[in-house]
Amino acid sequence: MSYYNTNSESGETLSRSKERADTMKDQILHLFRENAGIDFTPFEVLRQLNTRSPITSVRRSITDLTMEGFLEKTDKMRIGDYGKQNYCWRLSYQSRLF
């Protein structure tokens, strides 16, 4: 599920929100596939996408892609935008085969 309807949207608003969430997931997966072997923190993904989306949306998409087996969380960490350590993700080995 790409969009978690925690604010009880409905109708056209819900449809647009789901579409935007799916688009972000597709963009993030494309970024990782184009840069196979490179690790990214969520903040680095956000900068690469050059979007005004909130970091929470990027993190949600990364979590979904990880649960779906496309990405894997690494043990590596780098400092993020708020001065705190952030884990890195990479394209999963299985995803590199396709």
SS3 content of the chain, % helix, strand, coil (to 5): 50, 15, 35
5 falls within a domain: no
C-alpha distance from residue 12 to each of 6, 26, 84 (Å): 16, 21, 38
47 falls within a domain: yes
1 falls within a domain: no
Q: Report the predicted TM-score, pTM, of the whole model to 2 decimal places.
A: 0.78
17 falls within a domain: yes
* Residue with more model confidence, 48 or 6: 48
67 falls within a domain: yes
**How high is the pLDDT of residue 57?**
93
44 falls within a domain: yes
Q: How many domains does the chain have?
A: 1
26 falls within a domain: yes
C-alpha distance from residue 1 to each of 22, 33, 64 (Å): 9, 21, 7
Token digits for 84? 């705190």
Digit-coded pLDDT (tens) for 56-93: 999 999 999 999 999 999 999 999 999 999 999 999 97
Closest alpha carbon to 65 in 31, 38, 16: 31
Question: Domain residues for 86?
Answer: 11-96
Digit-coded pLDDT (tens) for 32-55: 999 999 999 999 999 999 889 999
84 falls within a domain: yes
User: At 73, which CATH number?
Assistant: 1.10.10.10
